[in-house]
Chain A
């Protein structure tokens, strides 16, 4: 009943093109932002920050990047973990070799490096599609894994192959507390989401979606497949690279190449598919599902007082989690974002049938 848009007339194209054209949505998003920026830092515990919120935010950003490539441009990629690693190691090396540089610039440069690598591995997409492209990006994943574990220069020749991020220092202020880290991630992810939304609803986004839906027709309209596909690879890898740098610097703090292996690629792909291909909101929903669900499942037996061994719990967690993924894909192949959209549509009319 509350969700009615009657009486909200759009009188300009500008109003119609807004991201949230409905007043209630604007209020809701402001509330969510207020809670995220003010409420959560005041109330949440360190565990909540470090184990749930920070990884959720960083993975959301990576999912946004991957969704641009897979969901908007239709180019499937299994190399996400590798591109995150590029961001992480680029940030590490830049921070190591140019210590006076502001970390924000380091993150942006790391994203830039990942974008370059992404474009390089995106070149095969001009010739191959679908499964074949997936295999080509899988090669990128394995190559990058190999590169960072075998070429000593990237890890500054540390004996163990594991590296440690420098202190998080911004404008002379050291971010150490979980709250600070959370706010840092939140700011960056908010900016990333806004930028991604602006790109996908504009000229570039339309050319990506045109390539996704019908590449021949796109070319006949005047879209250059080369530009559209490679720009998608670049933008996508940029976001993934920045998120990789954040994952390494903020979440892991010290890491080895294994942190960015093929499992990372798969879990990000799951997030994007479950959240909803071609939806920015879906990235957040998918990231939340994949990050929070295992923890939730882990806590349930204990909360219900069922005595189970830790090993059984973790096995059960995997099984239920897998079943849930299959369930969601059968019920709504377009992901949680579509479920949300359907719910909203229903809510506009409820309680009347039409």
Chain B
């Protein structure tokens, strides 16, 4: 595959992250980095700590130890909305859309951080408030075109089939124009066609918008095809890190997935 944007410098660096819930050690001493414009996969068996890792990155969990450097700024703790303001967006394993709102409104909420018109103008729906609304609507329409969901623009998302809901959720995350996009199992529960569509969208997002993507996925075929580099977690520890081909050959990875005889 020919890439228009080469992989750049380190965008996010996770250093020695340790997270535990009571006596359960979710992550212990995990370190890795994500470079600009790359697609980075995080894989591992169930309960390996993949989702916890994403939750740490976007400020939902606060690790007991370790630090995160995003765009050169080091931080220890952050609220999710602060992470959003810095340019981290994500989708969820179980769809977390606003079910009562239309597709359009869902994606428009992704733009909320960029809207700041005065309360008084909003009351009257004139001047800056209206111009802003139209401007952002235009951007959102680009995303709707991009994801090919024009026909469901005004449909409440609660009525949409699963695959489309996943797509709308991706759209909502894209609307924030994130620098780092975290995808938590974007293809879980999809059939082959839907998976292929989703793969195409992920590659296009990466290529056209230049968005850096970190994704968790269980479908190994997808992971090996899409990602530039792969981190493998098992029981909260990093057991391998590198290109798909490299990771595939690691004995530890094979052991983690297939089990070892004692």
Binding site for B on A (CB under 8 A): 12-14, 16-17, 195, 198-199, 201-204, 206-207, 209-210, 212-214, 216-224, 278
User: Which residues of B (86-139) have their CB < 8 Å from a CB of A?
Assistant: 89-90, 92, 96-101, 105, 108-110, 112-113, 115, 117, 119, 122-125, 129-130, 132-134, 137-138
Query: A278 to B137, alpha carbons, bound, how many Å?
Result: 22
Do B138 and A224 touch (CB < 8 A)?
Answer: no
Do A209 and B100 touch (CB < 8 A)?
Answer: yes
B67 at the interface (CB under 8 A from A): no
Do A17 and B137 touch (CB < 8 A)?
Answer: yes
B212 at the interface (CB under 8 A from A): no
Contact partners of B119 in chain A: CB under 8 A: 204
Do B112 and A219 touch (CB < 8 A)?
Answer: no
Closest to B131 in A: A14
Query: A204 to B141, alpha carbons, bound, how many Å?
Result: 20
Closest to B124 in A: A198
Do A13 and B81 touch (CB < 8 A)?
Answer: no
Binding site for A on B (CB under 8 A): 58, 60, 79-81, 83-85, 89-90, 92, 96-101, 105, 108-110, 112-113, 115, 117, 119, 122-125, 129-130, 132-134, 137-138, 141, 172, 176
Known contacts A203-B115, A209-B100, A212-B100; A198/B81 CB under 8 A: no
In the complex, besides A206-B112, A220-B81, 9 extra interface pairs with C-beta distance below 8 angstroms are A206-B108, A209-B98, A209-B109, A210-B101, A213-B99, A219-B81, A220-B58, A221-B84, A278-B100
Contact partners of A213 in chain B: CB under 8 A: 97-101
Chain B proximity of A125: nearest CB distance (Å)? 17
Do B85 and A222 touch (CB < 8 A)?
Answer: yes
Closest to B105 in A: A206
Chain B proximity of A214: nearest CB distance (Å)? 5
Do B112 and A223 touch (CB < 8 A)?
Answer: yes
Do B85 and A204 touch (CB < 8 A)?
Answer: no
Contact partners of B97 in chain A: CB under 8 A: 213-214, 217
Closest to A14 in B: B134
Contact partners of A221 in chain B: CB under 8 A: 81, 84, 89, 109-110, 112-113, 172, 176
Contact partners of A201 in chain B: CB under 8 A: 125
Chain B proximity of A267: nearest CB distance (Å)? 25
Contact partners of B134 in chain A: CB under 8 A: 12-14, 17
Chain B proximity of A282: nearest CB distance (Å)? 14
Query: A210 to B83, alpha carbons, bound, how many Å?
Result: 18
Chain B proximity of A108: nearest CB distance (Å)? 13
Contact partners of A207 in chain B: CB under 8 A: 109, 112
Chain A proximity of B224: nearest CB distance (Å)? 29
A199, A212, A219, A278 interface centre (most CB from chain B within 10 Å): A219
